[in-house]
Amino acid sequence: MASHARYSGQELRLLQLLSARFPTTTAAHIEMINLSAILALPKGTDHYISDIHGAYEQFDHILRHASGAVRRKIAQTFGDELAAPEQLELAMLIYYPEQKLRHVLATLADPAPWMAQTIARLARVARTAAQKYTRSKVRKRLDPRLAYILEELLSESQADHTQKEQYYRSIVETIVALGEGEAVISTLADLIRTLVVDHLYILGDIYDRGPAAERVMDALMAHHSVTILWGNHDISWMGAAAGCEALVANVVRLAMRYATLETLVDGYGICLRSLARFADELYGDDPCARFRPRAGTSLEEFDPATIARMHKAIAVIQLKLEAQIIRRHPEYAMDDRLLLDRVNLAAGTIVLDGTTHPLLDTRWPTLDDGDRSALSAGEAEVIADLREQFARSRRLREHVRFLYSYGAMALVRDGNLLFHGYLPVDEQGELLALPLGGEHLAGPALMERFEQLAREAFFGHHPQARQAGQDAMWYLWCGPQSPLFGRSRMTTFERYVVADPATHEEPKGPYYTLRHDEAFCQRVLAAFGADPELGRIINGHTPVKVRKGERPLLAGGRLIVIDGGMSEAYQPVTGIAGYTLIGNSHELLLAAHEPFTDTATMIREGSDPTPHTERVTAYPTRRLIADTDIGAMLRGQLEDLRKLVEAYRSGRLVERA
């Protein structure tokens, strides 16, 4: 009877479900042996990247060299056996196998010896990279077409080198003789890149400002293991796909402002003809000088003058739609952003903070003297058409669903706290409670509720819930206490039509000052259930202005900002092309990147702008999977299996042979 009392009805039901996978004691024991062995492996390498902003080529290159991890793995494999130029050649082959192969093979009369030697070297690097994984995990990353051959090459070890040397040599020579050398080299290079990094973390802002965010998303969807922390630019696109008209307008406006129309039109198939027709009719005789596109903003079907008119038309629509959201949500406390109400059309002025400013553009034909937020019939038709197109874009919906499936507002992983950029706190560093959905929430609860609202915006069945979620996503984009924004206001209107630069300022919230204080960071870590002693807060969002002497390591390294300006638009300010982090079983490294040029030049000149790395911390002992969150999960599975075996032995469950 005592053994019967150990399990509640729910526990027995869960053990019955588990018994379907492990129907006997022996089956459970085999899995327990496997899990115990995994716990003893070194933890995999984590790669942290932030604020990509559509800079696909720079991002792709960083992925390929894994912030220098590939070079370190080559050095670990060969040490002094290979000179630095040979290691560089091998690295370039791993980064860009197809391009490097074409370059090398064009210089060789007989490529067979080089191919055989290269396959053997790549296999050695792959074996080094595979040491952290079980054979099963490595097998899952093998190209199935060459899996048998690759498994044989990867199984070679020093212990059996003498006995099986001829066997491995025969495999390689036959690969080359049969004309499969190039395929095997490319496949081994791809395998090494997937093994060098176990998990990729993206800390937000994949979209806007750069030319190819859709290609970045394709690459993330193809990655073997990725987690995304949403940024405000991501949430803007997600909200647009969910149906938030203000964010639809925002996405279109930013595409015109930052020369990324190709992503919108070619990447996602959004047709802008209805907007162009409306803008031409309304602003045909208006130079729209304040809305002229930046250099490089062009499409074959739209000249710069047309883009300027479209830009102005969608900006006005956005301002009106935002005013409607502000009025729906007095709890947002954003009445100070109802700027259209402060415009004096007759005088061509606006009152901001008690000061009257002249407007640089005084032609606002759709501003009603009554309700300034009311859309004209033409504006309503345009935004309805765009909203429908965003909803119908198959590629956009695939990308946004991926962001929902693999993304979150905040994450605690292995004692570290990851989120995009801001935490609502007061001047004393206390977590600030915001009114949201009828509750006052702060810290982790606030993040969770915002995440829930964002999911309801896209997946919710009830129109009211979807509307509330979409409005919350707009607040996340630009609200003064948004965890994704963190400034008292977004001065979109002022930057367009008010000359005084003081009105363009977007004052930062208290978090940006307090994050320099180690005690504050430790309190934040503790509040989120992270490790206040050894954990770190990892953020992006605010470009580190290296040119001005700013550093990414704050509060004695307790907080790390890895937005170093990957997008070209930020590089004149930051002075570099992005920061990234690499965390392996030995240490945590910060990498500073140079601007990417092009692959052909790198291969031709034999140059590899491997990033400068700086050690953030070295672990006193090598970290194992047992020391990670995955290890905690595996220990839980071991305990469940122990209970299952006990249930079999006590007769509470019956083994099925």
Q: Do residue 271 and residue 368 come from a single domain?
A: yes
- pLDDT surpassing 50 at residue 5: no
188 in the same domain as 99: yes
Please tell me the pTM assigned to this model. Answer: 0.95
Q: Which of 134, 163, 197 finishes a domain?
A: 197
> Minimal CA–CA distance to 307: which of 322, 328, 292?
292
- Closest residue by Cα to residue 473 from 207, 216, 231, 214: 231
Q: Are residues 151 and 283 in the same domain?
A: no
Residues 22 and 70 in one domain: no
The pLDDT confidence band at residue 3, using thresholds 50, 70 and 90, is very low
Looking at residue 369, what is its pLDDT?
82
Comparison of pLDDT for 600 and 467, the residue scoring more: 467
The 3-class SS string of 138-173 reads HHHCCCHHHHHHHHHHHCCCHHHHHHHHHHHHHHHH
16: pLDDT strictly greater than 90: yes
In whole angstroms, give the CA distance from residue 239 to residue 384: 15
User: pLDDT tens, 339-359?
Assistant: 999 999 999 999 999 999 999
For residue 519, being part of any structural domain is answered with no
* Residue-averaged pLDDT of the chain: 93
Q: 394-425: per-residue pLDDT in tens?
A: 999 999 999 999 999 999 999 999 999 999 99
Same domain for 88 and 183? yes
Give me the number of domains the chain comprises.
3
Label residue 531 by pLDDT band (50, 70, 90). Answer: very high
157 falls in which pLDDT band (50, 70, 90)?
A: low
Looking at the predicted structure, is the pLDDT value of residue 1 above 50? no
**If residue 175 lies in a helix (H) or strand (E), which one and from where to where?**
helix 161-177
Q: Look at residue 165 and tell me if it is in a domain.
A: yes
In a shared domain, residues 259 and 303:
yes
Residue 540 and residue 581 in contact, taking contact as beta carbons nearer than 8 Å: no
Helix-then-strand count for the chain, H and E:
27, 17
304 lies in some domain: yes
Is 192 inside a domain boundary?
yes
Answer whether residue 221 is part of any domain: no
Query: Considering 169, 197, 225, which residue would you say is the last residue of a domain?
Result: 197
267 and 380 fall within a common domain: yes
Please give the average per-residue pLDDT across 317-343, as a whole number. Answer: 97
What are the pLDDT digits (tens) for 69-113? 999 999 999 999 999 999 999 999 999 999 999 999 999 999 999
pLDDT digits (tens, 9 = 90+) for 471-509: 999 999 999 999 999 999 999 999 999 999 999 999 999
Identify whether 495 is part of a domain. no
Residue 354 lies in a domain: yes
Which of 197, 220, 250 marks a domain boundary? 197
179 and 86 fall within a common domain: yes
Do 129 and 11 fall into the same domain?
Answer: no
Is 50 exceeded by the pLDDT of residue 528?
Answer: yes
- Are 192 and 255 within one domain? no
Domain that holds residue 136: 65-197
Does 601 fall in a domain?
no
Show the CA angle centred on residue 609, arms to residues 606 and 614, nearest 5°.
Answer: 145
Q: Are residues 247 and 385 in the same domain?
A: yes
Rounded distance between C-alpha atoms, residue 30 and residue 653, angstroms: 18
Q: Residues near 515 by Cβ (< 8 Å), separated by ≥ 6? A: 521, 537, 539, 554, 555, 559
Q: Which of 166, 571, 493 is nearest to 322 (CA)?
A: 493
Q: Which residues contact 588 (CB under 8 A, 6 or more apart)?
A: 536, 581, 582, 615, 616, 617
Q: Per mean pLDDT, which range of 312-316, 325-329, 568-572, 629-633 is the poorest? A: 568-572
Asked whether residue 254 falls in the same domain as residue 387, the answer is yes
